Amino acid sequence: MFTWVYSLFGGCVIGCAVGGMWMLNNRIAGNSGILGALVKRQVKDSNDLWYRLAYIFAMVATGVGMQAQPTLRSVAFSPLAALPLWIYLGGGLCVGFGTSMGNGCTAGHGLCGLSRFSVRSLAATATFVCFGFLVGMVSHFEQLRALWENGTGPVISGLKGGTAGELEVFFWTTAMGVLILAACFAMRKFVDKQAGQVAVGFGVGVLFALGLGIGGMTVQEKVVNAFNIWEEWDPSLWLLFSTALAVTFLFFRLREKGVNPSGDPLPPKPAGSVDARLLAGAAIFGVGWGLCGLCPGPAFVNCARIFVGSSEERTKMVTFMGGLIVGILTEGWVAEWLQKRKHKI
């Protein structure tokens, strides 16, 4: 179902989370980068370490909280896709390797990078979206053939709005997330800057996870069906992404105009050109994303299933996250090996 109300609401919340990280903490809210630095032991100092851990913990803990609330559970969680474990493993490997190689995912490149007018992020986003669609089309080839034989075309799935009760839960839950983030920023501003940076990371993680859950991006089926145009196409993902990008873009423009609550200097604009490494990494990420419908952010939230889900769900998420971490590590080893080989030549 095309849950347009959920997408609009969730997109606004995600945009506020990503923009809030930029405005309040002077950082990019890139989920793959936050995890990647931990896995590859590239954290700058202990404060940076705790900031990243707090962010990921907040996303997982918020997922557990959403599981406990009936309305949020029904919107944000459905049974994990009935895919064999090798697809979860392969999808995790591709997502981990690709995001590490391409230096970003849907949030880092797709929201923050595009909002900073990064040509690299534009190329990466276009690449991983195209490869996601490619995987979606190939994996649903039988549906394409049936449509061709029947002389029919693809259709958009049915519309589903939100009930007054659902919207009320969304509103009050998001308000709570905003208050948590505001309290964390107050700590950064008026109590202890370093500890406050960690706290803001936690607050942004809470808000980001809520946006993903409300928008349905933690549901694999919605993501996979966003790439499947042969049957009942569900554009919920694309409406959510467009909304989140518009809100993020606004925050970045305000920051450029001098609105700077953090008091930190504006980081330099991203440099570098589009190269084969970037495009290859984005393509590999797109394959993994389209294969199992999970990228780092939604995967963090779905890790709640490890603690409150069934044994089958626990196995699937451990398999995916294991593949994700191994993929990140493998890319680091490959990059290091290529660098050493280059110096020898």
The number of CA neighbours under 13 Å toward the Cβ of 315 is 10
pLDDT at 269: 79
Listed in sequence order, the residues at least 6 apart from 126 whose beta carbon sits closer than 8 Å to its beta carbon are: none
The two three-digit tokens of residue 110, written as one number: 């797709």
Q: Which of 297, 294, 295, 315 is nearest to 306 (CA)?
A: 315
pLDDT at 129: 97
Cβ–Cβ < 8 Å for 66, 215: no
Residue 272 φ/ψ region, left for φ over 0, alpha for ψ in the -120 to 50 degree band, beta for the rest: left
The two three-digit tokens of residue 44, written as one number: 């700058």
Cβ–Cβ < 8 Å for 213, 10: yes
pLDDT at 149: 56
Longest dimension (CA), the chain: 68
Cα separation of 102 and 108, whole Å? Answer: 10
Q: pLDDT 10s digit of each residue in the chain, 345 long?
A: 889 999 999 999 999 999 999 999 999 999 999 999 999 999 999 999 999 999 999 999 999 999 999 999 999 999 998 999 999 999 999 999 999 999 999 999 999 999 999 999 999 999 999 999 999 888 765 555 555 555 555 556 667 777 888 889 999 999 999 999 999 899 888 888 888 899 999 999 999 999 999 999 999 999 998 998 777 789 999 999 999 999 999 999 999 998 989 888 888 877 788 999 999 999 999 999 999 999 999 999 999 999 999 999 999 999 999 999 999 999 989 888 878 777 665
pLDDT at 39: 96
pLDDT at 151: 52
CA angle 251, 106, 22 (to 5 degrees): 25
pLDDT at 134: 92
Match 């962010």 to its residue by tokens. Answer: 55
pLDDT at 144: 52
pLDDT at 343: 67
pLDDT at 135: 92
Cα separation of 333 and 93, whole Å? Answer: 14
Cβ–Cβ < 8 Å for 292, 83: yes
pLDDT at 158: 67
**What interhelical angle do 46-68 and 193-214 show, nearest 10?**
30
% helix, strand, coil for the chain, step of 5: 75, 0, 25
pLDDT at 272: 80
Q: Which of 280, 330, 332 is nearest to 128 (CA)?
A: 280
pLDDT at 90: 96
What pLDDT digit, counting tens, does each position of 71-102 carry? 999 999 999 989 999 999 999 999 999 999 99
What is 25-54 written as a DSSP string? H-----HHHHHHHHHTT--SSHHHHHHHHH
